[in-house]
Amino acid sequence: MATALSLTHLGSLMRGVRSVDQVGADERAASLAKRSIKKSSKLWALDLAVRCMDLTTLEGADTPGKVAAMCAKAVRPKPGDATVPSVAAVCVYPLRIADCVQALRGSAVRIASVATAFPSGQSFTSIKVAETEQAVQAGAHEIDMVIDRGAFLSGDYQRVYDEIVAVKEACGAAHLKVILETGELGNYDAVRRASILAMAAGADFIKTSTGKVQPAATLPVALVMMEAIRDFVRETGRPVGFKAAGGIRTSKQAIAYLVITYETLGADWMTPDRLRLGASTLLNDVLMQIDKERSGAYQSADYFTVD
Amino acid sequence: MDVRKTYKLFVNGEFVRSESGRAYRPDGMVNVPRGSRKDLRDAVRAARTAFPGWAGRTAMNRGQILYRAAEMLDGRAAQFVELLGGGVRARRELERSVETLVWYAGWTDKLPQVTGTVNPVAGPYFNFTIPEPTGVVAIVAPERDALSGLVRRLAPVLCGGNVVVALTAESQPLAALTLAEVLATSDVPAGVVNIISGQRKELLPWLSSHMDINAIDTAGCTTDEIKAIEESAAGNVKRVIKLTKDEMSPYLISAFMEMKTVWHPIGV
């Protein structure tokens, strides 16, 4: 799949991407978001949300200490309560990978690193490839790359495609998540095109956003991407994962993404191997909701760790 | 044309129907929203968000806003007197409410002077104690005195810099719900006061077990209700305030304040 497609093939692939019914996508996403998930189903969903979470910190001010604290929380989200599972992965800048390797030794939590001139992606391909190689060497299990939106929007699909292929190759055994930054793509047609392009180039996951641009992840965009995944899988048989990131702060939002995933991609995607929720502040709200369901009392942020 | 008013809850500075869509008729005539636990949850969330801003305002500014509320209430005197049933009694209750707001407006910047202390300690420290607001306060309004009953409990809590989720008197919520219109036009920031009407029996368990409420004023509760509240308030060690006297007092302000003591080294 990931071998170089010639210009004409890529052109026909992109031309073959059908357009998206925007009103229909918005309405379907809105109706799925309204679904009521209560009691034991809610607890199950919250547990899954934790297991699928990429606990993220992508700040210029990230320090080894801050990353170590986040890793501790990733392994044991609720101190003193082993029934709350570990999150799927932590997501950091490349320079912080070493801190994660140290802090997560002996745990099953994976290390994801952003790379390729995150968040803009506007740099030289050789630098992006080198950054990816170094990140993998430093111990990253997963690479979150950004596509060059400038190239994509100007119609230079070949450049975007080649870059993903090159970065995928640099990843080696590491999983590659391709960030489309849908907030900058303009419309759902472009989102669908970018999804197909990324999957054709070898992405293991496609991811909505960096979290640095507004609007970030939205439900209709997730739906469009998941439908692209569904069609791609039908065509090629290769399963591709989905990661929503950016602006997911409440349990309610997280559950809406789970519902939409289930309805679009099915039960096979309800696992951290194929679904991720990237978030920095979501975890505490999920923990509070779990406690609310268990105790029957509304919770307060005062009794949960500051992150 | 006779335009009948739809009474609404007051949550986060907005007038909303109950999310449950329910209503009840306290006097058999007017529909009043019957708030649910989720209205309560939303109100507490709004209050918690508004708390740092309100507590962080200068005492003088809080006083100005409480005084403004008194002005607005006085300006709508006729409406409230009618709501309270008219006559001398209603007029007197309104005046008492206005007076209460003015009285506590004056207390905002005096409370730290009266309840704060400089403590003589045996060491090279400047040691002082100041009152700080406790946070989100739930008020269960008394069943009698539909307006002044609530104002008497509300004003001291706001005065100290706390934020409020108030449950109106179940049997006569109209004046309390209308008070929200006064507060909304008095520069009281959104979320600082939230007013919910509904059934005590249904809402009290959620109120008293809510981990994000720091204190609860049980003015309108029966002895049995207070007992249940105290048991479930133990979950986060809420202050349960049981002062029942209907008089104005700085102790009603300090009942909702935490005393912070600071040890400041000197001469080192």
Mean per-residue pLDDT over chain B, rounded: 96
Q: Which of B212, B214, B231 to mutate to test the interface with A (most CBs of A within 10 A)?
A: B212
- How many other C-beta atoms lie within 10 A of the C-beta of residue A293? 15
- Helices A22-33, A251-265: crossing angle, 10 deg rounding: 120
Q: What are phi and psi of A167, to 5 degrees?
A: -70, -40
**Catalytic choice (A73, A78, A168, A207):** A207
Concatenated DSSP letters of chain B: --------EEETTEEE--TT--EE-TTSSS-EE---HHHHHHHHHHHHHHHHHHHHS-HHHHHHHHHHHHHHHHHTHHHHHHHTTSHHHHHHHHHHHHHHHHHHHHHTTTHHHHH-EEE--SSSEEEEEEEEE-SEEEEE--SSSTTHHHHHHHHHHHHTT-EEEEEPPSS--HHHHHHHHHHHTTTPPTTSEEEE-S-HHHHHHHHHH-TT--EEE-TT--HHHHHHHHHHHGGGT-EEE-----S--HHHHHTTEEEEEEEEE---
Mean per-residue pLDDT over chain A, rounded: 94
Q: What are chain B's domains?
A: 9-265 (3.40.605.10)
Q: Which of A38, A285, A289, A298 to mutate to test the interface with B (most CBs of B within 10 A)?
A: A298
Q: Are A162 and A4 in contact (CB under 8 A)?
A: yes
Identify the closest residue of chain A to B205 by CA–CA distance.
A297
- With residues binned 3-state (H G I as helix, E B as strand, rest as coil), the percentages for chain A, rounded to 5, are 50, 10, 35
Concatenated DSSP letters of A62-102: --HHHHHHHHHHHH-SSTT-TTSPPPSEEEE-GGGHHHHHH
pLDDT digits (tens, 9 = 90+) for A256-302: 999 999 999 999 999 999 999 999 999 999 999 999 999 999 999 99
Cα separation, A73 vs A94, whole angstroms: 20
In a domain, A302, yes or no: no
Kindly state whether B41 is in contact with chain A, defined as any CB-CB distance less than 8 angstroms.
Answer: yes
In a domain, A307, yes or no: no
Torsion of CA A167, A168, A169, A171, to 10 degrees: 90
Nearest C-alpha of chain A: how many angstroms from B75?
39
Average confidence (pLDDT) over A184-196: 96
Q: What pLDDT does residue A307 have?
A: 72
Q: What pLDDT does residue B141 have?
A: 96
In a domain, A303, yes or no: no
Q: Which residues contact B73 (CB under 8 A, 6 or more apart)?
A: B80, B94, B97, B98, B101, B151, B179, B182
In a domain, A87, yes or no: yes
3-state secondary structure of A23: helix
For residue A85, give the CATH number of its domain. Answer: 3.20.20.70
B163 neighbourhood in chain A, CB within 8 Å: none
Number of domains in chain A: 1
Identify the closest residue of chain A to B233 by CA–CA distance.
A297
Q: Are B137 and B166 in contact (CB under 8 A)?
A: no
Does A297 contact B210 at a Cβ distance shorter than 8 Å?
Answer: yes
Q: What pLDDT does residue A207 have?
A: 97
Is A243 labeled as catalytic in the residue annotation? yes
In a domain, A301, yes or no: no
Q: Are B50 and B190 in contact (CB under 8 A)?
A: yes
- Helices A219-236, A251-265: crossing angle, 10 deg rounding: 30
Q: Model pTM? A: 0.92
Nearest C-alpha of chain A: how many angstroms from B196?
17
In a domain, A15, yes or no: yes
**Catalytic choice (A73, A78, A128, A243):** A243
pLDDT class for B212, splitting at 50, 70, 90?
very high
Q: What pLDDT does residue A6 have?
A: 61
Identify the closest residue of chain A to B37 by CA–CA distance.
A298
Nearest C-alpha of chain B: how many angstroms from A298?
5
Domain that holds residue A95: 7-295
Does A298 contact B236 at a Cβ distance shorter than 8 Å?
Answer: no
Average confidence (pLDDT) over B64-87: 97
Kindly state whether B189 is in contact with chain A, defined as any CB-CB distance less than 8 angstroms.
Answer: no
Q: Which of A297, A301, A302 is facing B235, going by the closest CB pair?
A: A297
Please report where in the chains the tokens 């289930």 appear, as a residue: A262
A300 neighbourhood in chain B, CB within 8 Å: 48, 210-212, 236
Cα separation, A161 vs A294, whole angstroms: 48
**Catalytic choice (A54, A73, A128, A144):** A144
ipTM of the complex: 0.89
pLDDT digits (tens, 9 = 90+) for B215-247: 999 999 999 999 999 999 999 999 999 987 778
Region of A12 (left: φ > 0; alpha: ψ -120 to 50; beta: rest) is alpha
Q: Are A259 and A237 in contact (CB under 8 A)?
A: no
Q: Between chain A and chain B, how many beta carbons pairs sit less than 8 Å apart?
A: 26
Kindly state whether B236 is in contact with chain A, defined as any CB-CB distance less than 8 angstroms.
Answer: yes
CA angle B159, B165, B170 (to 5 degrees): 115
In a domain, A278, yes or no: yes
pLDDT class for A2, splitting at 50, 70, 90?
very low
Q: What pLDDT does residue A88 have?
A: 98
The pLDDT of residue B24 is above 70: yes
Residue A4 DSSP class: P
In a domain, A306, yes or no: no
CA distances from B196 to A155, B219, B223 (A): 56, 16, 22
Specify the pairing of strand A89-92 against strand A110-115: parallel
Kindly state whether B238 is in contact with chain A, defined as any CB-CB distance less than 8 angstroms.
Answer: no
Does B211 contact A297 at a Cβ distance shorter than 8 Å?
Answer: yes
Q: What pLDDT does residue A7 have?
A: 59
B38 neighbourhood in chain A, CB within 8 Å: none
Kindly state whether A38 is in contact with chain B, defined as any CB-CB distance less than 8 angstroms.
Answer: no
Does A302 contact B211 at a Cβ distance shorter than 8 Å?
Answer: yes
Q: Which residues contact A271 (CB under 8 A, 6 or more apart)?
A: A52
3-state secondary structure of A171: helix
Kindly state whether A252 is in contact with chain B, defined as any CB-CB distance less than 8 angstroms.
Answer: no
Concatenated DSSP letters of A206-263: EE---SSSSS---HHHHHHHHHHHHHHHHHH----EEEEESS--SHHHHHHHHHHHHH
Q: Which amino acid is at B95?
A: E
3-state secondary structure of A5: coil
Nearest C-alpha of chain A: how many angstroms from B258?
16
